[in-house]
Amino acid sequence: MRSLTLRPYTAADEDAAIELWRRTWAQHYPHIDFTARVDWWRARWRNELVPVARIVLAEIDGTLVGFVTVDPKTMYLDQIVVAPEQWGSNIALKLLDEAKRLSPQGLDLLVNKDNARAIRFYAKHGFVYAGEDKNPVSGIAVNRMAWRKE
C-alpha cells in the first residue's frame, strides 16, 4: 500500500529536492533549459529559501514526490512542487494544507500568468487574485494571489 507522508526538510534532502524542482519545471516549460539553471537554483535554495522558509517534503513510501516552502513571518509561499507523475493526485492539496497550518494567518504567492492550472488550483482552495506583478528574477508577468484565514 502506498502511503503519503509529510516530513520536515533536512540538508541531506537538498539534491533530491532540487532535482524534483528541475524536473517539474522542465515538464511544465519544456522549451526552457532548466538543467542549465541548476547551479542558480541550488544557490537560491541555500541562500534564499533554507534560511527563512519552513520546507516540508511529501514522500510516498520514502520517495520524494513534492515539497512546499513557506515563510510564516512574511506569509510568503514560494514553492509548491509536485512530481509530474503525481499531478492530479492530492499531494498539492496536502502540501497547501500544510502551508496553511504553518502560516495560519494567511499566505501570499506569485504565480506565472500562463500557469492556468496552478491559478485554478489556488482559486479553488481559497486564494483570491490580489493584483499583477512581475517575477523579480525573470521579469515574467505574474499574478499575486492571497489567502487569509476566515
Instruction: For domain 4-148, give the CATH superfamily.
Output: Gcn5-related N-acetyltransferase (GNAT) (3.40.630.30)
User: What Cα–Cα distance (Å) separates residue 133 from each residue in 22, 108, 112, 136, 145?
Assistant: 24, 13, 9, 9, 10
Q: Which of 1, 104, 11 is nearest to 55 (CA)?
A: 11
Residues in CB range of 89: below 8 A, 6 or more apart: 82
- What number of other Cβ atoms are within 10 A of residue 26's Cβ? 16
| pTM (whole model) above 0.85 | yes
Break the chain into its structural domains and give their ranges: 4-148
CA dihedral 69, 117, 142, 17 (to 10 degrees): 30
Helix (H, G, I), strand (E, B) or coil at 135: coil
What string of pLDDT tens digits covers the 150 residues of the chain? 478 999 999 999 999 999 998 898 777 777 777 777 788 889 999 999 999 999 999 999 999 999 999 999 999 999 999 999 998 899 999 999 999 999 999 999 999 898 899 999 999 999 999 999 988 777 888 999 999 987
Residues in CB range of 21: below 8 A, 6 or more apart: 41, 45, 67, 79, 81
Q: Three cell numbers at 61?
A: 513510501
Angle at 118 between CA 144 and CA 48, to 5 degrees: 60
